[in-house]
């Protein structure tokens, strides 16, 4: 009897984040930007957290950023993530300004450093869904 591979917990893809997740599935990183105060922010929401305006648009992100802080997860009770330990969870400051919680992949967890330059990669997570993660900049496979 073979063991079934546990499935990944999936994000909510409707409402304010719908455009973000659709673009991610196509390999593009979008960032919300307020057209009233011209500031970017994260996470997707219908109103700007800086000025309260509902004039929120999306810009194409560069895909680059810097590790602001991180932690290494060495144990998990979740069946999916248990198969991936150890892994790095990081707060990445995007080149566009906001910080995004994500994973740093494609490198040993002991190599992740604060200030490290990273670039976005997308991990397929089912039909029409991809999860943005970051790897060390210039480490394209």
Residue 2 inside a domain? The answer is no
**Other CB atoms within 10 Å distance of the CB of residue 57:** 11
Which residue, 2, 16, 11, 92, is CA-closest to 47?
16
How much is the pLDDT for 86? 97
Average pLDDT over residues 1-11: 69
Residue 62 inside a domain? The answer is yes
Is the pLDDT at 137 greater than 90? The verdict is yes
Residue 8 inside a domain? The answer is no
Weakest mean pLDDT among 18-22, 24-28, 61-65, 133-137: 18-22
How much is the pLDDT for 104? 98
36 contact partners, CB below 8 Å, separation of at least 6: 48, 51, 53, 55
What are phi and psi for residue 88, nearest 5 degrees?
-100, 125
For residues 131 and 121, give the distance between their C-alpha atoms in angstroms, rounded to a whole number: 8
Give the range of the structural domain holding residue 131, as residue numbers without chain letter: 15-136
| Confidence (pTM) | 0.89
Residue 106 inside a domain? The answer is yes
User: Is pLDDT larger for residue 141 or for residue 49?
Assistant: 49
Residue 10 inside a domain? The answer is no
User: Is pLDDT larger for residue 1 or for residue 30?
Assistant: 30
Q: Domain count for the chain, please give it.
A: 1
pLDDT band at residue 139 under the 50/70/90 scheme: confident
How much is the pLDDT for 5? 67
- For residue range 34-69, what is the model confidence (pLDDT) as tens digits? 999 999 999 999 999 999 999 999 999 999 999 999
Cβ 96 vs Cβ 40: under 8 Å = yes
140 contact partners, CB below 8 Å, separation of at least 6: none
Could you give the 3-state DSSP secondary structure of residue 87? strand
- For residue range 80-122, what is the model confidence (pLDDT) as tens digits? 999 999 999 999 999 999 999 999 999 999 999 999 999 999 9
Is the pLDDT at 2 greater than 60? The verdict is no
Residue 5 inside a domain? The answer is no
């Amino acid at each position: 009897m073979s063991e079934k591979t546990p499935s990944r917990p999936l994000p909510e893809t409707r409402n304010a984040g719908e455009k973000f997740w659709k673009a991610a599935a196509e390999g593009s990183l979008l960032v919300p930007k307020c057209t009233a105060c011209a500031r970017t922010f994260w996470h997707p929401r219908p109103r700007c957290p800086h000025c309260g305006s509902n004039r929120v648009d999306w810009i194409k992100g560069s895909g680059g950023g810097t590790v602001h802080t991180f932690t290494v997860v060495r144990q998990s009770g979740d069946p999916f993530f248990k198969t991936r330990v150890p892994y790095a969870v990081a707060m990445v400051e995007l080149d566009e300004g906001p910080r995004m919680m994500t994973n740093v992949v494609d490198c040993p967890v002991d190599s992740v450093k604060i200030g490290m330059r990273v670039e976005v990669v997308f991990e397929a997570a089912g039909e029409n869904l991809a999860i943005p993660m970051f790897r060390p900049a210039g480490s394209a496979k």
